[in-house]
Amino acid sequence: MTEQEALVALNGTPGYGPRKTQKLLQAFGSARAAFGAGEKEFAVAEGLGKAAWEALHAGPAPGFVAEQFTAARTHNARIVTLADPEYPARLKTIFDPPIVIYVQGLPLAHTGLSVGVVGTRTATQYGRKVARDMSLALAAAGVCVVSGLARGIDTVAHMAALAAKGRTIAVLGCGLDYVFLDKSEELLRGICASGALVSEFPFGTPPEPGHFPRRNRIISGLSHGVLVIEAGKKSGALITAEYAMEQGIDVFAVPGNITSAYSEGANRLIRDGAHAALSADDVLFTLGKRSGQTAAPQALNLGDDEKKVLDILEGEPMHIDAIIRKSALTVAALHPILMSLEIKGVVAQLSGMKYTRA
């Protein structure tokens, strides 16, 4: 069993959520080592014990791991674990990062500046217009729009990002195979082509009410800021905002009619200290200043060789040898250019001497 397979098995084992799995990894160093550990070792491990050992060895349903990898191939998806280079660095820093994420679409590790755009499922015409206008402006400025693919504000945000020919990531409350049952194929294809569908839930997991609050921590965990467009006092969007505040992420809210139940939650966020967002520029200014990232890479002052390398990196990650061949630059000339582009936040280095646009 590989480490990846062991982590997938843990992700499907009853009683092993992200927090329990983190304790196991801290105690044994790896999932593989934990599967090889005895009951006595579990008994003395902090936060584990006999019950944890029994749950581990009861394991997931027979054939679960093989079924997950088969389903991933069928759906052209990737199984990304905490140990993989693609796993987003920001997501690792939250209190209980998912041990495994299932990804369909582009690599997640370097999406650049990202903003979670969330709100009510029962959006008003005002809420839909604001969500469309702000998401369109954010995406046009180079920001990756992260949302939950629910009806209402979420779907408007994804569609607006695609209309701007920008990037968008959808975080799901079900397995990747279930999302296809009730969503537009064109929308899903667009999301995968520009960004990704993401879920911590294994293939075969249907959407259930308890899944959506859990997935909200991933929306905020993938984002540099969270923008609440329209939310009632019990909206799930407020859970995303709470996670963002716990994670030290800027929270923005769009003011609404103080007599409208649809805006009660957003207005309360502003009263309690969230940034009032009257336009996308309010979000861009605050995050650009605090993150040190530029929301519109095309506005950077790039030299001719920097532009050449950036153009070459359009598309899939590329090994440095291929960049040298395509650019006709020497190794000595290319290294400072790549370093400069990394500092400017438009290129990121991956494992194996590969580079990608950030």
How far the first Cα of the chain sits from its last, in Å, is 33
The residue with tokens 């968008």 is 168
Q: What is the CATH code of the structural domain delimited by 300-357?
A: 1.10.10.10
Q: Is 145 helix (H, G, I), strand (E, B) or coil?
A: strand
Q: From 1.10.150.20, 1.20.120.550, 3.40.50.2000, 2.60.40.10, which CATH number describes the 1-60 domain? A: 1.10.150.20
Q: Kindly give, in sequence order, each residue whose CB lies less than 8 Å from that of residue 32, ignoring residues fewer than 6 positions away.
A: 1, 2, 3, 6
pTM of this structure = 0.77
Quick check: 326 and 315 in contact, CB under 8 A? no
Residues constituting the chain: 358
Distances (CA, A) of 223 to 33, 102, 118, 304, 325: 33, 18, 12, 32, 35
Q: Residue 134 carries which side chain, given as an amino acid letter?
A: M
Pair 219, 171: CB distance under 8 Å: yes
DSSP 102: E
Amino acid type, 41: E
For residues 220 and 94, what is the distance between their CA atoms, to the nearest angstrom? 9
Pick from 102, 108, 100, 89: nearest CA to 25? 100
CATH 3.40.50.10710 for domain 114-291: no
pLDDT by position in tens, the chain (length 358) = 899 999 999 989 988 888 888 888 989 999 899 988 888 888 888 888 888 898 888 878 889 999 999 999 999 999 999 888 899 988 998 988 999 999 999 998 767 899 999 998 888 888 988 999 999 999 999 999 999 999 889 999 999 999 889 999 999 999 999 876 666 788 899 999 999 999 999 999 998 888 988 899 999 999 999 999 999 888 889 999 999 999 999 999 999 999 999 999 999 999 999 999 999 999 999 998 554 444 444 445 788 899 899 989 987 789 999 999 999 999 888 988 886 676 455 776 676 788 888 6
Q: Where are the beta strands (DSSP E) in the chain?
A: 78-81, 100-105, 114-118, 144-147, 168-171, 196-199, 225-228, 250-253, 275-276, 318-319, 347-350, 354-357
Domains of the chain, by residue range, sit at: 1-60, 114-291, 300-357
* Beta-sheet strands, E only, within 135-216: 144-147, 168-171, 196-199
SS3 74: helix
Structure-block tokens of residue 87: 């796993």
